[in-house]
Amino acid sequence: MITPRETHLLRAPTLRAFQHAIVDAVTGCIEASRPAAVLTPTRAAAGQLQRTLAAASVEHRRVALVTRSEWYEWLRGRHGSCPPLLTPVQRQVVGAAAAAEARAAGCIPPFRLRPGIVAALLAFYDQLRRRRRSVDAFERLLLDELEPSADLDRGARRLLLQTRFLVAAFRAYDRRIDTRRLVDEHRLRERLLAAEPLRKVSEIVVTVPDQVADAAGLYPADFDLLARLPRLERVTVIATDGVLDSGFRERLDDLLPGLAETRVRTDGGRPPAVVVPDSSADRPYFVWRDREEELRGIARRVRRGVTADGRAPAAAAVVVQRPLPYLYLAPSAFDAAALPVTPGDALPLAVEPYAAAVDLVLACAASGFGRGPTMELLRSPHFRFETDGPPPAAGAVRALDRALAEMRFSGGLDLLSGSAADWAAETETRRAAAGALRCVLALAGELRPLREPRPLAAQLETLRSFLQRHAAPLDTGEPGGRAGEGRALVWQGLEALEAANRSLDDAGREVDVVEVTSVVRRWIESRTRPAGAPVEGVHLIDVQAAVYGRFDDVFVAGLVETEWPGRTTRNVFYPAGLLAGLGWPRERDRLRASRAAFRDLLGLADKRVWLSTFVLEDDAVVAASPLLEDLDGFVAERVPAPDHDPAGAPGDRLGPPGDAGIGRRWRALRVGRTNGSRAGGARASGRAGRQPARAYTVSALERYAGCPFQYFASHALGLEVERASEQTMTPEQRGLFLHRVFESFFRDWQRAGRGAVTLATLDAALERFETAAEDALGALPPIDRAVARGWLLGSAASPGLAERVFVAEIERQTGVVERLLEYRIDGRFELGSPPARRTVAIRGVVDRIDLHADRTLRVIDYKASRPPDPSRALQLPVYARCAERQLRAERGEHFRVTEALYVAFGDPRLQVSVPGGDVAAAIAEGEARVVALVEAIEAGEYPPRPVDRLRCMTCSFPTVCRKENVEDA
């Protein structure tokens, strides 16, 4: 039997009246000692409501302020015997097992079953159930719609396959949950409706609209719960006129029939004035260059209010649609104005540095312990690798990096372990690197299981144990112990994932490191870390939270087209037309509600409201929000901003006024230094004084030619080039991989006594190449393997790189008698012609030198993409000259250089010779350039002078070079 209950609707004309109505409703519950809950859209909104209740001296602790999901937990707690709800991690495991079961039963989905798809599948299931659609109804509706056109329409056929898969997966999920007597939100709702609670719930105050009007709102199933929950005596819905008139009122008649409507009185206060940039302008909003300038501008405004009028920072709120980008910018923008900030939302766990460290371990395993990720792992401050003694010293790690670069190592544990034995007796670099290599081999041994297919729980255990075993000691002086907390959260999360997979995954699936990475990343991205101790600062909150707070000044920021009105997350399975038949809201209704919520927001502040937009996002132009187009009827009063500074103008005053003098002095000092530098401050403009001669690699000389300061930063200062941690092969790794495969093939070919590849030997060459390629491909992560195989070996439709290289060799008809592979140049060479002739020590490795029967040679350099600009490239001419001289010294024979070419795998021509094919002229010109470059290096000339400004965009040292001094080449 359903308990009779009163259902009230309180209609508030403004947000301030809406807040008064909530305060009165909570007071009424407390005074009547009615156990009650107040439903709010988010935790941040509940936090703001707590402040508002506290300001009205209402002891809110006796009433639960809860979000929708917390409300279910709260009801479960009052119900008595109901077991705990499944956690999101546990549901994901059950969902993945159910999806695998559906697939194994022959319902093949038209997509790959990745962890992200499983999460979307569960979200879709929840949406259906919350809209009171059963799986049977879903199946019937969709099949009726799709089956008639499936034979004629490929799109409909694909949707049909997908529907059959989803239905099978949902049924498998239901079966698993029911057989194990597990409880999710939907089973809990059934239990709550079926039995009386142990502890009575007298009143629920609903301050959120439905899910059409607000993405965090209530669903039809929630309203059904409100209508039928046993022993519930009273339901009070509170909403503003704007939201109710946007369509919510009509929907409420269906959701909660018999509502008694009462109008809430206005609070009688004046609506806030809208602050405009300039009283003469017709635009009642501020326009900034980008988000960062916008936030800095707001911080300056708040600072002025604090200093001039004694307002508390907490009397201001910055209201945004998407808090995350603003949360990232807030520390720098508000610190500069010496203002504390109170964020409404917690930051995602993904921004914790330790989350990046976990990614590093996975990238290292996925890349087959490639050089980049391995070096980053060894250098990461989050780990301390004591594998067979103290951790490798920084010098040993640097030496290992150099040694791996020299051997063009792009990954492959077998290759690494194979060469380790010889290292102790080899070059100085390798000897210095031997300890670090042993450490890498030990770590690779621990992580090797991740690369093999194993159950997910076992993979997660391997990862967690690695992280815990090698964790660096925490810095005890760090404020708030943030690093320790972030680390503990990640470990606990991995443990929960592991436990859920052990207990609930009975599908016995085996996964490799790619899927482990995907599961771990998804989990990290879905988590937030709890906010620290609250501070009373400027509130940085979203719209949903803002409507519950009281502020003198409200800054509505980020009013751009892509964010206001807010977007809904697109359904990945079905188009809007099909979803409408399943009860999904229509876009038109959602937009009407968004506009109404925005207009309400304009009246939220007690005193002033400031609106702002920006024009650039990630250097792309963005349009202002359409909501700014029809403000006229909704702005009661406009007041011009006192002395508005356009962004970046000379009056741009950061920091509190007490700092203004310091600011001015700092600015004068900086401008003076810059001017002084230009006027002849030699050291500041990149002159370092005479430098001693040294051995140069050709790539270092090319780097100097590209930008002298870049050379100085990496070769004189020894700064490391930043390497992004890549999941797939970087261009550099691709180049190294290619070098390795071709070197291995030609070495093997030569060992078999073969010379030039000819038409007669082409098939044999391709066969041998395939063997060499397969060995190297085995060391690549699966994600790269298929692409690299097609690239090297080709397909039925197009030849691979190997065939193109061999055919080009056959067409050139060279009589190769010997190939020198990875030929090492190391010596002092006389270069240039008088008067600019001098000795230069040169080091380097030539990819290939072909010696011909007629005592000529050709020099070949492999390029993974296109050949370099001939006006800057030095490799071919310098290598040709040095190889000719070194060979004569080594063998006593003279080979004349007749050809120098790039085999450029990304160039349609494939083989590209020196300009005009005139080798002698190219060598002479290259020698002269080397001499000039070496003279400049030794004269200590290191200005930041990029050969073109595009180079700065990919440079690793933009924060080191004095950008204001950059010279044009």
Binding site for ligand SF4 (CB under 6 A): 707, 709-710, 944, 946, 951-952, 955, 957-958, 961, 966
Q: Tell me what percent of the chain is helix, strand and coil, each rounded to the nearest 5.
A: 50, 15, 35
Biggest CA–CA distance in the chain, Å, is 108
Q: Which helix (H) or strand (E) holds 172?
A: helix 154-179
Measure CA 766 to chain center. 41
Structure tokens belonging to residue 730: 């970087």
Structure tokens belonging to residue 825: 């140049």
* Of 647 and 716, CB closest to ligand SF4: 716
Q: What's the closest the beta carbon of residue 928 comes to ligand SF4, in angstroms?
A: 24
User: What sections of 505-582 are H helices per DSSP?
Assistant: 513-525, 543-546, 576-581
Per DSSP (E only), the strands in 739-837 are 816-831
Q: What's the closest the beta carbon of residue 707 comes to ligand SF4, in angstroms?
A: 3
Distance CA 55, CA 697 (A): 71
> Residue 620 phi/psi, 5° resolution?
-110, 145
Measure CA 107 to chain center. 33
Distance CA 696, CA 570 (A): 56
* Of 681 and 755, CB closest to ligand SF4: 681
Three-state DSSP at 50 gives: helix
Q: What's the closest the beta carbon of residue 948 comes to ligand SF4, in angstroms?
A: 9
Distance CA 265, CA 226 (A): 26
**How far from 377 is each of 358, 362, 394, 417, 512, CA to CA, in Å?**
10, 10, 12, 18, 20
Q: What's the closest the beta carbon of residue 750 comes to ligand SF4, in angstroms?
A: 41
Buried b (16+ CB within 10 A) or exposed e, 247-259: bbbebbeebbeeb
* Of 329 and 707, CB closest to ligand SF4: 707
Measure CA 751 to chain center. 48
C-alpha count within 13 angstroms, C-beta hemisphere, residue 289: 9
Q: What's the closest the beta carbon of residue 714 comes to ligand SF4, in angstroms?
A: 9
Q: Which residue has the tokens 């109901």?
A: 82
Q: Which helix (H) or strand (E) holds 510?
A: strand 510-511
Q: What's the closest the beta carbon of residue 708 comes to ligand SF4, in angstroms?
A: 8
Structure tokens belonging to residue 651: 């009056």
Structure tokens belonging to residue 403: 């040694």
* Closest to 285 in 3D by CA, of 624, 763, 570: 624
Structure tokens belonging to residue 749: 């070919």
Three-state DSSP at 719 gives: coil
Contact 579, 571 (CB under 8 A): yes
Structure tokens belonging to residue 790: 């097609």
Query: Alpha-carbon torsion 692, 696, 700, 701, what sign?
Result: positive
> Residue 397 phi/psi, 5° resolution?
-65, -40
Three-state DSSP at 899 gives: strand
Which amino acid, residue 123?
Answer: A
Contact 207, 38 (CB under 8 A): yes
Q: What's the closest the beta carbon of residue 470 comes to ligand SF4, in angstroms?
A: 34
Q: What's the closest the beta carbon of residue 709 comes to ligand SF4, in angstroms?
A: 4
Distance CA 840, CA 379 (A): 34
Distance CA 783, CA 514 (A): 7
Buried b (16+ CB within 10 A) or exposed e, 420-448: eeebeeeeebbebbbbbbbbbbebbebbe
Contacts of 87 (CB under 8 A, 6+ apart): 496, 500
